[in-house]
Structure 1
Amino acid sequence: MSHHTPVVVFLDRETLPPEIILPRLDFEHEWRSYDSTTDAEVAGRIAGADIVVTNKVRLPAHVIEGADRLKCVAVAATGYDVVDLAACRARGIVVSNIRNYAINTVPEHTFALILALRRSLLAYRGSVARGRWIETNQFSYFDYPVHDLSGAVLGILGDGVIGQAVAAIGRAFGMIPLYASYKGVEGMGPLYTPFEEVLRRADILTLHAPLTPATRNMIGPAEFALMECRPLIINTARGGLVDEEALADALESGRIAGAGFDVATVEPPPREHVMMRLLAHDNFILTPHVAWSSREAIQSLADQLVENINLFWRGAPRNVVT
C-alpha cells in the first residue's frame, strides 16, 4: 500500500490504563505514542503520520489539511465528534470508531447507580459512620427511603445496544421497561412509548443517547415539570443531555428522588461547577466518566482498535464513519 514504513501516532495513550495491552499491528510500521497531546502540539505530531489514533484529542480541519500523508484516523472510542469528518471525507481519509465494547460495563454501572440510590446506600453508610446506629436502641433504623426495583417503571431514553441491555437487566429485576420515543418524533411504532408519557410514568429514567443538536438539553425545566413519580435520573451517556442547572433545581426542590451521573458538560468539572455542589446531597452520585472502563471492556476496546487499523491496512476497513 506504501513504499515507506508507515507511521502510526497515538496522541493520548494515557486515556487508556497502563496495564491494558495494545496488541501489535500485523504489518511493519513505526509506532509513536504520546501520553497526552495539547491542541498546539497536534499538527506537529501528525505531520508525517499515515495513521493517527485519538481518543479525545481534537483533529480540526486545518490540522487534517496539513497532514499530507494521513490516510486513516482510528478513534479509540465510540464517539467521534473530536474529528472533523468533512475534512477527512474531502481528503479520502478513513475514520473508524469502536463499537459495542461497553455492552456489559455501562449497563452494570447504570444499575450500580440505580441500586445505590434506590436503597439510599450512601445516606445509610454515612449515618452509620457518624454514629447514628450506635445511638439507636434498635437493630435497625429507617431514616432514609428504601425501595424495591421489582414493579418499578424504567424509562429508557436511547434504544441502542446499551439501552437494550439495560432493559434486559431491568426485566430480570422485575421492572417494567419503557423505551421513550425520540423527543419531538411521533409514530415510532408499538415498541415505543411517547416521550412525555415516559417522563410522567417512570420511577427511574436512564439516558443512553448520543449527544447531538437534537438531544442536547433533552431534559430541561419543562421535562422535569412533567415527572409525576419523583423519579431517579441516571446519565451514563454524555454530559449535556440534561440541563445541569435544571437538574440541580429538581434535586434540591424534591421534584426528583435523586440522580446518578457519570458524565458532566465539563470534564473534569471545576470546583464551582453545579455538579460538584450537588455532591453535598446523599441522593446524588457523580462518578468520573468510568461507566465504560471495566478492565474487560477496555481490553476489548484495545483489541478492536488494533484490528480496525490492521483491516484498514489490508484494504478492508470496518466501523467506518466517513
Structure 2
Amino acid sequence: MLKIVFLDRDTIGPSVSIDRPDFPHEWVEYGKTAPEDVAARIADADIAVTNKAPIRADAIAGASRLKMIAVTATGYDVIDLAAAKERGITVSNVRGYAVNTVPEHTFALIFALRRSITGYRQDVIAGEWQRANQFCFFNHPIRDLSGSVLGIFGRGALGKSVARIGEAFGIKPVFAARKDASSIETGYTPFHEVIETADIITLHMPLTPATRDLIGMPEFQRMKRKPLIINTARGGLVNEAALVQALDEGLIAGAGFDVLTKEPPAPDNPLLKVLERPNVIVTPHVAWASDEAMQALWAQVVGNIENFEKGSPSNAL
C-alpha cells in the first residue's frame, strides 16, 4: 500500500475539502513542516505532497521509497528537480487553476491604487470628510483606467487573462519581451519600451535566476509614465529596496504587492516601513486563494496522484 505524506495542509484554506485519492493508501498529514523536519517525515513515503515545505537533495536521498512529489502550486522552486530526476522521481505541479482568481486580485490592486481607494478610506476614518465642510474633498489623485497602457510581464495563462480583462476596461495591453532578447517575437514589445511607456506594470512570471531583480533602480529610472507596479507572481522579481527608493523619489505612482522576497516578511523588509502610505498595498500572498481556485487546485493535485498510480503521470515537470 502506498504511503502518502502531506507536509503542509495549513497552506490550503480551511474551506477546501481535502478529498483523498481513490485507491488504497496510507495517508499522513501535517499542518506545517519546518525545513529541518522534511527529511524525517518523508523517509518512508512513496508520495510526498507539498506546497511550501522544501524537498531538497538531502531529503530525497534519504527517502528510499519516494516515487512521486505532488506540488500543490504552479511554482516548484521548493523542489530540487535535478535530484528528483536523478532518482527517477516524478514531480507534478498544478496548472491553470488560478486563471480567474489571480487576474481578479491583480485588478483589485489596480483599481484600489488607481482611484486611491485606500487613501480615501483612511481619510474618512480619520474624520477628513467632516473637516472638509463640503460634499467631497481631493486629498489623493484619481485616474481612469480607460486609455492606459498596461505592461504585462509574462504571457502565460495569467498574463493573457489579465490582458483580456484590461481590454474590457479600454486598456491597451502590451506584453514585454525578455530583458535580454536579441530579437522580438510577434506579439511582444521590447522590454525597455514597455518600461518607458506603460502606465501600469504587472508581473505574471516565475522566479528564476534570469528573472530575479528583473526590475531594479535602472528600470525605475526609465519609467517615464510613473506607473503603478503590481506583483502577484513571485517575490524577488522586483528589487524591494529599489522599489521603496522609487516610491520615495516619485518615480512610480504606487505599488500593489501580493508576494515578497521572504514570506512571511523579515522585520527588515523595506516594504514594511511604507505600509501606511496611501499608494502602497501589500496583501499576504492570497491572490491565488479564492475558495473556487483552491478547491480546483486540490482536485488537480488528487488527479495528478491518481494518474501517477495508474501509470500515466500528469503535469509532470
Confirm or deny: 8 A CA contact 1:22 1:306 kept in the other structure. Answer: no
Secondary structure of 1:48's aligned partner: coil
Question: Aligned equivalents of 2:122 and 2:111: distance in 1?
Answer: 16
1:239 Cα deviation from its structure 2 partner: 0.5
**2:103 corresponds to 1:101:** no
Amino acid at match of 1:177: P
The residue number in structure 1 matching 2:304 is 308
1:189 Cα deviation from its structure 2 partner: 2.1
Q: Percent identity?
A: 56
Confirm or deny: 8 A CA contact 1:98 1:319 kept in the other structure. Answer: yes
Amino acid at match of 1:318: S
1:96 Cα deviation from its structure 2 partner: 0.3
**2:51 corresponds to 1:55:** yes
Question: Aligned equivalents of 1:258 and 1:38: distance in 2?
Answer: 35
1:60 Cα deviation from its structure 2 partner: 1.0
Question: Aligned equivalents of 1:190 and 1:311: distance in 2?
Answer: 37
Confirm or deny: 8 A CA contact 2:10 2:31 kept in the other structure. Answer: yes
Question: Aligned equivalents of 1:160 and 1:136: distance in 2?
Answer: 46
Unpaired runs of 5+ in structure 1? Answer: none
1:23 Cα deviation from its structure 2 partner: 1.9
1:291 Cα deviation from its structure 2 partner: 0.4
The residue number in structure 1 matching 2:138 is 142
The residue number in structure 2 matching 1:218 is 214
1:19 Cα deviation from its structure 2 partner: 2.5
Q: Deviations over 1:296-316 (max 9, x none)?
A: 000000000001000000000
The residue number in structure 2 matching 1:176 is 172
Unpaired runs of 5+ in structure 2? Answer: none
**2:231 corresponds to 1:230:** no
The range that moved more, 183-192 or 63-72, is 183-192
Question: Aligned equivalents of 1:124 and 1:169: distance in 2?
Answer: 25
1:87 Cα deviation from its structure 2 partner: 1.2
Secondary structure of 1:188's aligned partner: coil
Of 292, 298, 301, 1:296 maps to 292
Structural mapping, 1:234-245, within 5 Å: 234-245=230-241
The residue number in structure 2 matching 1:17 is 13
1:277 Cα deviation from its structure 2 partner: 0.6
Of 167, 191, 206, 1:195 maps to 191
Q: Which runs of 4+ in 1 moved over 6 A?
A: none
Q: Deviations over 1:56-106 (max 9, x none)?
A: 111111111111111110011111111111111111110000101100000
Question: Aligned equivalents of 1:129 and 1:18: distance in 2?
Answer: 32
Secondary structure of 2:263's aligned partner: coil
Confirm or deny: 8 A CA contact 2:13 2:289 kept in the other structure. Answer: no
The range that moved more, 164-173 or 42-51, is 42-51
Amino acid at match of 2:266: P
1:266 Cα deviation from its structure 2 partner: 1.1
Confirm or deny: 8 A CA contact 1:14 1:35 kept in the other structure. Answer: yes
Q: Deviations over 1:15-49 (max 9, x none)?
A: 11122112221110000001111222212211111
The residue number in structure 1 matching 2:316 is 320
Amino acid at match of 2:132: T
**2:203 corresponds to 1:207:** yes
Structural mapping, 1:84-163, within 5 Å: 84-163=80-159
1:257 Cα deviation from its structure 2 partner: 0.5
Structural mapping, 1:252-267, within 5 Å: 252-267=248-263
Q: Deviations over 1:137-169 (max 9, x none)?
A: 321111211010000000001111000000000
Confirm or deny: 8 A CA contact 1:54 1:76 kept in the other structure. Answer: yes
CA RMSD of aligned residues (A): 0.9
Question: Aligned equivalents of 1:275 and 1:43: distance in 2?
Answer: 34
Confirm or deny: 8 A CA contact 2:102 2:232 kept in the other structure. Answer: yes
Question: Aligned equivalents of 1:150 and 1:198: distance in 2?
Answer: 18
Question: Aligned equivalents of 2:268 and 2:215: distance in 1?
Answer: 22
Secondary structure of 1:40's aligned partner: helix
1:194 Cα deviation from its structure 2 partner: 0.5
Structural mapping, 1:244-283, within 5 Å: 244-283=240-279
1:280 Cα deviation from its structure 2 partner: 2.4
1:274 Cα deviation from its structure 2 partner: 0.5
